[in-house]
Chain A
């Protein structure tokens, strides 16, 4: 079945890099996403990667995709206290359908 797994917590010091990992099971995923949820708010799309790409960089964010191992990671360079939030990995099974599978979320805490 389809499943997306993430570790629940990550703590880093301000200025360090953060790496949030995600594994998924469905090899037919077309897009993989990273969403950010700040306290008391809904989810906001941070970035996404198409399944035929290995890497995508967007300012401080780097997404790496290892399709063979079904592993997705989000690296945040120079992590700031404002990056403290819950980060969700998600996959889209087929384009144009409703079916998004979300992970459990990783709570990132940035220590000053």
Chain B
């Protein structure tokens, strides 16, 4: 079965960088794009961007494009998200989600989420 397993919770200092991993299993990793979505406590889902399946194209939300990097290691079936210059407002649960090949391209599988707290 398809699974996305993310790295664990972290506490970060303001100004530090965040690295979250998303290990995929149960499907052909390179065939699907992966998206990153975050959710601040009690807030809406906020799309950060995506990384394509095979050719490592990326697309970022304008809000994050100066601070975020996506990468993937196809040999390890793992995607990574790095967010730099952390601020308290970056405190959130970070999700990876697989983009379906179905029409409309919904996110059909989600990781369990990685809680990140930014605090001094």
A and B physically associate: no
Q: Which A residues fall within an 8 A CB radius of B?
A: none
